[in-house]
Amino acid sequence: GQQVMQIPQYQHVQEGEDFTTYCNSSTTLSNIQWYKQRPGGHPVFLIQLVKSGEVKKQKRLTFQFGEAKKNSSLHITATQTTDVGTYFCAGLIRGSQGNLIFGKGTKLSVKP
C-alpha cells in the first residue's frame, strides 16, 4: 500500500544545533502537510506544501517539497527547548478527498 517513510525516528540535539527530518512517499503526492505534537498533546497543523519544489519558511522552520512531489523535509535552525515534540509529515494522495498518509514521526528532544 501507499506509504510515507519518515526519518530519523528520534533526534537528540543540544540547544542551538540544527535539526532536519525527512519524508519519502512511495507515490506522487498532491500535497504534503507537516504537524507538530507536543508531549501529551495532539497533532497541530504547521504548514501545507502544494507545488513541486516549493519552499516555505516559518521563522526558524524551513519546509521543502521535492521536485517529483514524493519527498519533503523540515529543517529547524538553532533549536530551542520550545521545539521539543514529535514532527509528522502527512501526504495527501492524488484523487483523495482528504485522507492523509502520515509518516511515523520524528521525536525531537533538545538538551538545554
Which residues are at the interface with another protein (CB under 8 A)? 1, 6, 31, 33, 35, 41-45, 48, 88, 90, 92, 97-100, 102-105
Least gap, CB of 14 to another protein (angstroms): 25
Is 107 within 8 Å of 11 (Cβ atoms)?
Answer: yes
Query: Judged by CB, which is closer to another protein: 30, or 81?
Result: 30
Question: Which set of grid coordinates corresponds to residue 27?
Answer: 507515490
Task: Give the shortest CB-35-to-another protein separation in angstroms.
Answer: 8
CB of residue 94 to another protein, shortest distance in Å: 12
Length of the chain in residues, anyone? 112
Please, what is the minimum distance in Å from the beta carbon of residue 78 to another protein?
A: 27
Measure CA of the first residue to CA of the last residue in the chain; give whole Å.
41
Whichever of 45 and 53 has its CB closer to another protein, that residue is 45
The residue among 10 and 18 lying less far from another protein, judged by its C-beta, is: 10
C-beta closer to another protein: residue 24 or 77:
24
Cβ neighbours for 59, distance < 8 A, ≥ 6 positions apart: none
Helix (H, G, I), strand (E, B) or coil at 85: strand
Instruction: Pick the closest to residue 7 from 51, 19, 52 (CA basis).
Output: 19
